[in-house]
Amino acid sequence: MHILYTTPHTPKPSAADTVHAVLKARILDGELAGGDMVGEQALADELGVSRTPVREAIGRLQAEGWLRVHPRRGAVVTPASPTERQDVLDARILLETYGVRTAVARGTTDTLTARLHEHLDSQRRAQSAGDLDASTEADADFHSALAAAAGNGVLDGAFAMIRDRHKRMTARALWRGEDIGRQVLEDHEQLIRLVGTGDCDGFATALAEHLRVHA
């Protein structure tokens, strides 16, 4: 079960917040796939809450597009649309490549490559430990850092909107086997090298191929 951790300065999450986080995590890591039913009572019993916060969480997830609520049937995980994968990949290529081009233009590639190495090291440790959740999170952080290199708050918001879909797609890719995980790490190393040399066109080509094969 996914657990929310708090600090002394962080308000304790409500029951609905906890249910929302658990359900969303299960959707993102593929435990709940498109078309799967979500049982209100079973989830309430599992998490030790009433059905009210479960219904509130389901309503929020429906508004976010992750669930569909059908009268007398309950909540169903929304399958990815036929065009969603390509739409997400196109958006990521645009945002991540723009981030790199901006970093090269501003002379901030050293800062960016240092940050990318940190995320790559985290992903490598997670894969070595067999921790799929942590590996997927580190992969998302790696690509987020590329987009964030533009230093544009509006674009950061746009990337945040597709980050969760990115994570769901990546989790499925990493499940295909250890060979895929190793290749992802090698691809990330190549992307860092291209950023470091300022080869924006080479980066764009390598990124598109990386996402086409592994996302």
pLDDT tens for each residue of 38-59: 999 999 999 999 999 999 999 9
Alpha carbons 16 and 151: distance in angstroms, whole number: 34
- pLDDT the model gives residue 179: 75
Q: Nearest 5°: phi and psi at 209? A: -70, -40
Residue numbers of the chain with a pLDDT score lower than 70? 1-10, 170-178, 215
- pLDDT the model gives residue 80: 81
- pLDDT the model gives residue 17: 95
Residue 23 CA neighbour count, 13 Å, CB half: 34
Q: What is the chain's mean pLDDT, rounded?
A: 89
> Whole-prediction pTM value?
0.73
Alpha carbons 7 and 74: distance in angstroms, whole number: 35
In this prediction, what percent of the chain has a pLDDT beyond 70?
91
Q: Nearest 5°: phi and psi at 38? A: -115, 115
- pLDDT the model gives residue 163: 82
- pLDDT the model gives residue 113: 98
Q: Show Cβ contacts of residue 120 under 8 Å, excluding neighbours closer than 6 positions.
A: 138, 142, 185, 188, 189, 192
Query: Which of the 8 DSSP states describes residue 65?
Result: T
pLDDT tens for each residue of 128-149: 998 887 888 898 899 999 999 9
